[in-house]
Amino acid sequence: MSAPRPSTTVTAVFEEAARRWPARPFLCVLPETAGVYGIPAGELSYRETAARVHELRAAYARAGYAHGHRVGLLLENRPAFFLHWLALNALGVSVVPISAELRSAELEYLLGHSEAALVVAPQARRAQLRAAAAAGRQLALMADGDTPPAAPFPAPAVAHAPDEDTECALLYTSGTTGRPKGCILTNRYFLMAGRWYVGLGGLARLHPEGERMLTPLPLVHMNAMAFSTLAMMMCGGCLIMLDRFHAGSWWASVRDSRATAVHYLGVMPAMLMKAAPAPDDRRHNVRFGFGAAVDKTLHAPFEARFGFPLVEAWAMTETGAGAVIAAHAEPRHVGTSCFGREAPDIEVRIVGEDGLDVRPDQPGELLVRHAGPDPRLGFFAGYLKDPVATEEAWAGGWFHTGDVIRRDAAGYLHFIDRRKNVIRRSGENISAVEVESVLNTHPEVKASAVAATPDALRGDEVLACVVTHAPVPPERRSEIASSIVQHALARLAYYKAPGYVAFLDELPLTASQKIQRGELKRLAQALPAQPCCLDTRYMKKRQA
C-alpha cells in the first residue's frame, strides 16, 4: 500500500486533522472574547469546523469565486476568520487579512493594491469599505453568515489546481520608505511554519495528546495566522484566540481555557509583572510561552514568579519558517536579549556598513537565507507589484533583514536594534513615511517628520515633529496638537497616531531636502522633555 500523498494546501492539512481527530476541539472562544464580539462562547470541534467549511466552500464556488481571486477578511480573531479562510483556500482563493484598526487612507490603499474581489466584514464597516473602494474598482461586500454575493469579476485564468505554490494569503507589512508592502505567502509558507513549530522540541515541545495554545496576537500577523494555527492543525491541538491582550483578566483566561502554551509580545510580561504577586501565580497548566522582545531585565523574574520559560524567537513576515530562529534549548542566556542560534538548515551573515562580515561580538545587519539549493525556501514569494523591492531585499542572494544583531563567542545571536525606518510599538511595525503622509494633509501642517522615542511600556512611541504654516503660540499648542492627532486617528490605526507632537521651526534636512533620519532619531530621544513637545499618548485609545 502506497504512503498517503502529503498535503499541499492549508485546507488539505486541516481536512487531514479532521479525519484523524474529529472529536477534538479545534477552536475555543472564552466568554470574555465572546462578549466583545457578540458571538457564542464555547468550543468548535474539528468535525464541526469541517462541516461548516464544506458548506461555505460550496457557497463560494456557486458565487463564482475561484483560483486567482483575493478576498479580504476583516473579521479580527473570530472563529469566522478560519471558516472563510479554509473555505476559500480550498478553491485557490487568497485571503487578505485586514486589521480592524485601519481607517480611510489605509483601507483605500489596501483594497486598491490587493485588487480584492470581496471583503467579509461586520455590517458596521460596510459604508466605510464602500467609501474606500469608491476610487473605481469593483468590490463585493458581505458579513459572516450572508450568502456570498456573485464575484464582481472573473478570476484570473489558472491552469492547475491549488498546490504548495499557490498564493494562500497576502499580508501587509510596514515599508521603510513608503506604503506598506503586500507580502505574497504561499501554501508552502504556511505548511513549513506548522512543520517547523511541531518539530521544534526542547522547551517548546508540542504534545500530540491535545495541546491547547492561547494567543492574543492578531490574525493579521503571521505569528498567529501561520505558526499558531498550522501547528495546532498538525498536532490536533486547540487554538484559543483572544480578541486582544487584557492584563487584568489574562490569568483567568489562561486558567479557564486550560492553556498549555501561550504566545506573547514583549509588552505583555512587563504589564503582568506590574501586578502584585499572588498565591496562585503558578496555578496554571502552561509549560512555555513563545514570543519576542521581552524586557531582558524582567525575563528571569517573570520565569521565577510564574514558573514557565519564555522562549524568545526571531522571524519576519518575509522570512516565515525559512529562517526563523528560537532560543528553545538551554543555555538560553536569559536576560541578554538572546534569541538562540540558527539551525543547520539556516544560513546567517552579520555584516557591517561596508557589507563585510563583522567579528564576534560586533554589531551588524542580520542577513539570512535557507540552506540548500533554494535559498528562498519557506520565505515569502515576493512583494506584490514590486519586483524591484523584492530583489533589493534579496541583494547578493541573502535576505537583508534590517535588524542589527551581534553573535557572541559561543555562536548565540543577540538582538540590538533596527536599522530600518520602522517604529515598533507594542509589537506593531509602523512606517514613519506612512504616518508623515497623513500628517502632511492637516491644514496647519507645512511639513512633518516621524521617529521613534523610547517608551517604558510600549518599547517605542511615535513622535511627530511638525512645522506649521504659521508659528503656533504656546497657549495654542495643546489645541493644535490635539487636532493633529485627531486627524491621524481618523485616517490611521490608533497605534500609528503620534504619542508626542513637537513643534519645530524647521526639520533636520539634507542638502537635497531629504529628512536626516539619523539626526531626527537623536532629536526624538530628547524632545519629550522640551516645552515645545506635547504628550498626546492619552488620546491613543482603541476605537470601537
- What pLDDT, in 10s, does the model give residues 364-376? 999 999 999 999 9
Asked whether this chain's domains 10-404 and 423-539 adopt the same fold, the reply is no
- Interior angle at CA 32, CA 29 and CA 36, nearest 5: 95
Overall average pLDDT of the 341-345 stretch? 97
Overall average pLDDT of the 278-287 stretch? 97
pLDDT band, residue 2 (cuts 50/70/90):
very low
- Interior angle at CA 280, CA 247 and CA 261, nearest 5: 60
pLDDT band, residue 176 (cuts 50/70/90):
very low
CATH number at 10-404: 3.40.50.12780
Task: Output the pLDDT for position 244.
Answer: 94
Is the pLDDT confidence value at 212 over 50? Answer: yes
pLDDT of 467-478, one tens digit each?
999 999 999 999
Q: Which helix (H) or strand (E) holds 118?
A: strand 118-120
Domain 423-539 coded CATH 3.40.50.720: no
Query: Is-contact 502 464, C-beta < 8 A?
Result: yes
pLDDT band, residue 178 (cuts 50/70/90):
low
Contacts of 1 (CB under 8 A, 6+ apart): none
Indicate if the alpha-carbon torsion angle 338, 339, 343, 349 is positive or negative: negative
Of 119 and 419, the one with more pLDDT: 119
Task: Output the pLDDT for position 314.
Answer: 97
Which residues sit opposite 454 in a β-bridge?
460
Overall average pLDDT of the 260-266 stretch? 94
Is the pLDDT confidence value at 5 over 70? Answer: no
Peptide bond into 498 cis (omega under 30): no
**Locate cell 531636502: which residue?**
513
Task: Output the pLDDT for position 210.
Answer: 87
Task: Output the pLDDT for position 510.
Answer: 64
Dihedral pair phi/psi, residue 459, rounded to 5°? 90, -75
Q: Mean pLDDT for the chain?
A: 93
Overall average pLDDT of the 112-138 stretch? 90
CA 170 from chain center: how many Å? 12
Could you write out the DSSP letters of every residue in 505-540? Answer: SS--B-TTS-B-HHHHHHHHHHGGGSTTEEE-GGG-
Grouping H, G, I as helix, E, B as strand and the rest as coil, residue 227 is helix
Grouping H, G, I as helix, E, B as strand and the rest as coil, residue 278 is coil
Q: How far apart are CA 520 and CA 433, in angstroms?
A: 13
Is the pLDDT confidence value at 497 over 70? Answer: yes
Query: Is-contact 109 179, C-beta < 8 A?
Result: yes
Can you give the pTM of this predicted structure? 0.86
Is the pLDDT confidence value at 1 over 60? Answer: no
Instruction: Work out whether strand 422-425 and strand 428-431 pair parallel, antiparallel, or are unpaired.
Output: antiparallel
Lowest-confidence region among 278-282, 395-399, 427-431, 445-449 = 427-431
pLDDT band, residue 6 (cuts 50/70/90):
confident
Query: Is-contact 292 324, C-beta < 8 A?
Result: no
Task: Output the pLDDT for position 29.
Answer: 98
Task: Tell me the domain boundaries of the chain.
Answer: 10-404, 423-539
Is the pLDDT confidence value at 55 over 80? Answer: yes
Burial of 299 (0-12, 13-18, 19+ CB in 10 A): buried
Task: Output the pLDDT for position 448.
Answer: 93
Task: Output the pLDDT for position 225.
Answer: 98
Q: How far apart are CA 236 and CA 367, in angstroms?
A: 35
Q: Enumerate helices (H) and strands (E) in the chain, giving the number of each.
A: 16, 25
β-sheet with 140-142: strand ranges across? 140-142, 118-120, 70-73, 94-97, 167-173, 181-186, 382-383
Is the pLDDT confidence value at 21 over 70? Answer: yes
pLDDT of 132-159, one tens digit each?
987 667 899 999 999 999 999 999 988 8
Could you write out the DSSP letters of every residue in 52-99? Answer: HHHHHHHHHHHTT--TT-EEEE--TT-HHHHHHHHHHHHTT-EEEE--
pLDDT band, residue 180 (cuts 50/70/90):
confident
Task: Output the pLDDT for position 20.
Answer: 97
Buried b (16+ CB within 10 A) or exposed e, 183-221: bbbbbbbbbbbbbbbbebeebbebeeeebbbbbbbbbbb
pLDDT of 289-328, one tens digit each?
999 989 888 999 999 999 999 999 999 999 999 999 999 9
Amino acid at 144: D
Is the pLDDT confidence value at 524 over 80? Answer: yes
User: Distance of CA 267 to CAs 270, 295, 423, 427, Å?
Assistant: 5, 8, 15, 8
